[in-house]
Amino acid sequence: MSRIDLKIEGAIATLLVSNPTKLNALTPDMLAQLAAHCDALDVDADVRVVLISGDHPKAFCVGADIAAWAKLPPARFARSWVRDGHRIFDRLARLSKPTIAVLNGHAFGGGLELATACDIRVMAPKARIALPEAQVGVVPGWSGTQRLQRLIPEGVIKEMALFGRQLSADRAHQLGLVSEVVDDPMSVALDIAANAAKLSPRATEISKNMIHAGAGEDSAALIEALGGGLIATSDDKSEGVAAFSEKRSPDFSGK
């Protein structure tokens, strides 16, 4: 059965991508589960850090399940499969908690796009990354040509998407896409997560928003969110709401 399981232990949540007979390829149900988990995690104040890993010794995730989209009409393929997947990965990227992709195995196509939607990545030495969509006559659809450009050089993306090359863990590390290459990426990711869980959750959330705004990740919404959070702490906001409720003119102090 294909699924994305959520396990929470203390302040650390782990999302496990599980479709082992297909190397953890993503199905529509799995995408819907990912979106639901992100919604739940965003409002869970006890969770400080989120990890994503794959339930297969050789694969983090090898992309989208071809059987799920191969027979879709072109309009539905574009409007539903591509846009829904993009929307859900954007949801993960904008999660208020720090996120770590644990690349225990290969991350191809949508699997690489899933990993790049996380804040950092830790990778096993034998794992590889690729954008192999052209091998089946399609193109990256869940941010492989967009978000990935903010993380690695354009020429490297072209190597994968246009020439079918795979990148080793060491090269991914040299490019800065991967934070560490280690034999036990989950153990290292848990250590990183445990340290992050000790930090101020509001400070890390706002820092993440500031970094994303600077990088162009949903910058318009983030700027307004930061402004909204700031004004919400003011006396003027409290006075304005009170005046509205009491049907009187507000007396703003500017504090």
* Cβ-Cβ contacts under 8 Å for 164 (sequence gap 6 or more): 130, 132, 134, 135
Query: Environment class of residue 195 by beta-carbon count within 10 Å: exposed (0-12), middle (13-18) or buried (19+)?
Result: exposed
Inter-residue contact 130 to 105 (CB < 8 Å): no
Question: Given CA atoms 55, 59, 63, 65 in this order, what sign does their dihedral have?
Answer: negative
3-state secondary structure of 7: strand
Give the separation between CA 74 and CA 234, rounded to whole angstroms.
50
Q: How many helices (H) and strands (E) does the chain have?
A: 11, 10
Inter-residue contact 235 to 255 (CB < 8 Å): yes
Give the separation between CA 25 and CA 240, rounded to whole angstroms.
51
Active site residues: 113, 133
3-state secondary structure of 172: helix
How are strands ordered across the β-sheet holding 167-168? 59-61, 106-108, 128-130, 167-168
